[in-house]
């Protein structure tokens, strides 16, 4: 019996030793694997590594994401780089912010020439520009192009694109869920920014009729400007001349072929506030309106009746709401009944129109056919009409009053010569745009015009580019060369109210 018990104890010890050995071996392997793979009790948590390219503001922002409660398995390195062209982004990259160069609203500077994106961060005290976030851009600053690229034209150049990247072995599993929503930002794009080009007086008549008889093609007059004007979402002009078979070289009536001039510039909106649309009779005016309708050209400021003429033009494109209002003030040509003509200005009606548009949340553009400046009779440079107070009446006070009523942009569309412009209150005023198409080639002032290119985003005016044009004896409107344009804009700026 004693021998049996002894053998049993030895057997139990062997089993126990085997179990213990297995446990020790398992533990050694288990903890060894953890030690060498840095998992389990030997796990080293991942850390956030901020590259020296990050500024304090961005590090603070990232710190609100990667808090002490965030337990990372792998390290993540975060860095920032600056690009002058929007790069093709990788899965782990985002455009953190877009910076654009701006200068004073009245500056004639247009372009910023630099070698690389880092050059704009020079913090010089005498720089004539500053970099701002695209979200801070508004019409009271002047956006500059960079090396000839204008951001609101290209959306992939003309700015500094700050690109943030996250490098991690487990980006998709760990980092993306933390940062994707935060850094997927909504910036202006071509699909969201509405471009509207406003032009001045168009009167395809008199000497232009004579020229058309010679050249035979109405597109001739727009040959050098059509590609520019047709490139925008919407293009406007104030046409003062109706189409008729009775157009001559002496009346302000248009040969019917002149509709092709307007179609070639991609005309979308025609303003009818002018004082000459009835020069060839009511029937010609009605038929001209029918011609616009047939060609899907919207109208504002005029119509077949006073009721039609008074209807505001409501524009809803690219998620932007714009209301255009247009009135005739004391230049003749208005309708008061069931005859065609321009929309007469009435203070209470204008105030109500503006108020209703603002209540809808629309950007409000008001066009005014005001008293003309008549300093035409000179073959030299006469700056008299540059001034906003050069017309009969209180032009400055009248236009400013429309801003006080709530208009965002006020444009004078009667002036045959460009006039000055100014920021005022919460809006901007362009007192006169001059002639886009006309036969007034005898005086330097009347051969010029200003094209206003409005860039509208989220119902707000981001920028208005001012692009001067000119024509000569050939009556072919073209863009003014850069040197002359700078001189001319400076001349207008210098006489602002």
Question: What are the structural domains of the chain?
Answer: 48-183 (no CATH), 193-493 (3.60.21.10)
Calculate the average pLDDT of the chain.
92
What is the structure's pLDDT at 26?
A: 54
Region label for 293, one of left (φ > 0), alpha (ψ between -120 and 50) or beta (otherwise): alpha
* Nearest residue to 45 via CA among 67, 8, 78, 72: 72
Mean pLDDT of 66-95: 96
Looking at 237-251, 386-400, 478-492, which range is the least confident one?
A: 386-400
> What are residue 42's phi and psi, to 5 degrees?
-100, 5
Q: Is 491 helix (H, G, I), strand (E, B) or coil?
A: helix
What is the structure's pLDDT at 270?
A: 98
Dist CA 102 CA 111 (whole Å): 10
Q: Name the percent of the chain lying above pLDDT 70.
A: 90
More confident residue, 172 or 44: 172
The model's pLDDT over 241-278, given as tens digits with 9 standing for 90+, comes to 999 999 999 999 999 999 999 999 999 999 999 999 99
Region label for 183, one of left (φ > 0), alpha (ψ between -120 and 50) or beta (otherwise): alpha
Mean pLDDT of 97-107: 97
Reported as type and span, the H/E element at residue 255 is none
The distance of Cα 73 from the centroid of its chain, to the nearest Å, equals 45
Is pLDDT above 50 for 106?
yes
Mean pLDDT of 409-423: 97
372, two tokens: 């003309």
Under the banding of pLDDT at 50, 70 and 90, the label for residue 375 is confident
* Nearest residue to 241 via CA among 259, 224, 225, 226: 259
Is pLDDT above 90 for 305?
yes
Dist CA 81 CA 58 (whole Å): 13
Dist CA 313 CA 322 (whole Å): 8
Region label for 319, one of left (φ > 0), alpha (ψ between -120 and 50) or beta (otherwise): left
What is the structure's pLDDT at 317?
A: 98
Helix%, strand%, coil% for the chain, nearest 5 = 30, 30, 40
426, two tokens: 């919460």
Q: DSSP string spanning 64-120? A: TTS-TT--BSS-EEEEEEEEEE-----TTEEEEEEEEEEEETT----EE--SSGGGG
Strands 427-430 and 409-412: parallel
Which residues touch 123 (CB under 8 Å, ≥6 apart)? none
Mean pLDDT of 354-358: 98
What is the structure's pLDDT at 34?
A: 47
What is the structure's pLDDT at 14?
A: 65
Looking at 124-128, 301-305, 360-364, 411-415, which range is the least confident one?
A: 124-128
Is pLDDT above 50 for 347?
yes
16, two tokens: 């126990």
Is pLDDT above 70 for 31?
no
* Nearest residue to 155 via CA among 465, 452, 455: 455
Is pLDDT above 80 for 16?
no
Q: Is 404 helix (H, G, I), strand (E, B) or coil?
A: helix
Is pLDDT above 50 for 73?
yes
What is the structure's pLDDT at 3?
A: 54
Dist CA 145 CA 159 (whole Å): 8
Is pLDDT above 70 for 125?
no
143, two tokens: 């956006």
How many CB atoms are located within 10 Å of the residue 448 CB?
24
How many CB atoms are located within 10 Å of the residue 31 CB?
13
Dist CA 387 CA 391 (whole Å): 9
Mean pLDDT of 479-492: 97
The model's pLDDT over 314-323, given as tens digits with 9 standing for 90+, comes to 999 999 999 9
Q: What is the DSSP letter of 218?
A: G
How many CB atoms are located within 10 Å of the residue 43 CB?
11
Is pLDDT above 70 for 29?
no
Model's pTM, two decimal places? 0.90
| Residue whose tokens read 């005739």 | 328
More confident residue, 90 or 378: 90
For residues 279 and 251, the answer to whether their CB atoms sit within 8 Å is yes
For residues 221 and 476, the answer to whether their CB atoms sit within 8 Å is yes
How many CB atoms are located within 10 Å of the residue 124 CB?
6
Dist CA 31 CA 209 (whole Å): 97
């Amino acid at each position: 019996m004693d021998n049996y018990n002894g053998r049993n104890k030895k057997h139990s010890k062997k089993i126990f030793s085997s179990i213990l050995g297995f446990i020790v071996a398992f533990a050694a392997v288990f903890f060894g694997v953890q030690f060498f793979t840095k998992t389990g009790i030997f796990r080293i948590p991942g850390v956030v590594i901020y590259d020296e390219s990050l500024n304090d503001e961005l590090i603070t922002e990232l710190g609100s994401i990667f808090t002490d409660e965030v337990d990372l398995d792998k390290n993540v390195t975060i860095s920032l780089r600056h690009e002058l062209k929007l790069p093709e982004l990788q899965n782990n990259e985002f455009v953190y912010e877009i910076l654009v160069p701006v200068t004073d609203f009245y500056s004639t500077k247009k372009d910023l020439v630099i070698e690389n994106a880092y050059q704009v961060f020079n913090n010089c005290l005498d720089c004539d520009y500053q970099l701002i976030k695209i979200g801070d851009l508004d019409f009271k600053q002047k956006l500059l192009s960079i090396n000839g690229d204008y951001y609101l034209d290209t959306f992939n150049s003309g700015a500094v694109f700050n690109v943030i990247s996250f490098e991690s072995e487990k980006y998709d599993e760990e980092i993306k869920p933390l940062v994707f929503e935060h850094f997927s930002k909504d910036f202006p794009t071509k699909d969201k920014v509405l471009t509207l080009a406003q032009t001045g007086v168009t009167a395809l008549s008199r000497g232009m009729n004579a020229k058309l008889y010679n050249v035979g093609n109405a597109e001739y007059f727009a040959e050098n400007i059509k590609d520019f004007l047709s490139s925008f979402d919407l293009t406007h002009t104030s046409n003062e001349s109706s189409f008729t078979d009775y157009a001559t070289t002496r009346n302000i009536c248009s040969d019917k072929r002149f509709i092709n001039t307007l179609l070639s510039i991609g005309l979308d909106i025609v303003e009818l506030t002018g004082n000459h649309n009835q020069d060839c009779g009511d029937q010609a005016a009605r038929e001209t309106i029918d011609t616009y309708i047939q060609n899907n050209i919207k109208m504002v400021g005029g119509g077949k009746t006073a009721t039609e003429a008074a209807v505001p033009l409501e524009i809803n494109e690219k998620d932007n709401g714009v209301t255009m209002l247009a009135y005739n003030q004391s230049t003749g040509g208005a309708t008061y009944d069931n005859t065609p003509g321009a929309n007469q200005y009435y203070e209470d009606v204008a105030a109500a129109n503006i108020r209703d548009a603002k209540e809808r949340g629309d950007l409000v553009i008001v066009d005014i056919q005001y008293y003309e400046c008549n300093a035409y009779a000179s073959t030299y440079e006469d700056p008299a009409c540059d001034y906003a107070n050069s017309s009969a009446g209180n032009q400055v006070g009248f236009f400013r009053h429309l801003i006080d009523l709530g208009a965002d942009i006020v444009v004078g569309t009667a002036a045959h010569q460009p006039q000055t412009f100014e920021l005022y209150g919460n809006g901007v005023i362009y007192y006169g745009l001059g002639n886009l198409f006309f036969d007034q080639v005898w005086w330097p002032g009347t051969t010029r015009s200003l094209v206003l290119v409005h860039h509208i985003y989220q119902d707000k005016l981001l920028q208005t580019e001012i692009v001067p044009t000119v024509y000569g004896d050939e009556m072919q409107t073209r863009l003014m060369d850069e040197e002359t344009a700078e001189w001319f804009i400076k001349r207008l700026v210098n006489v602002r109210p």
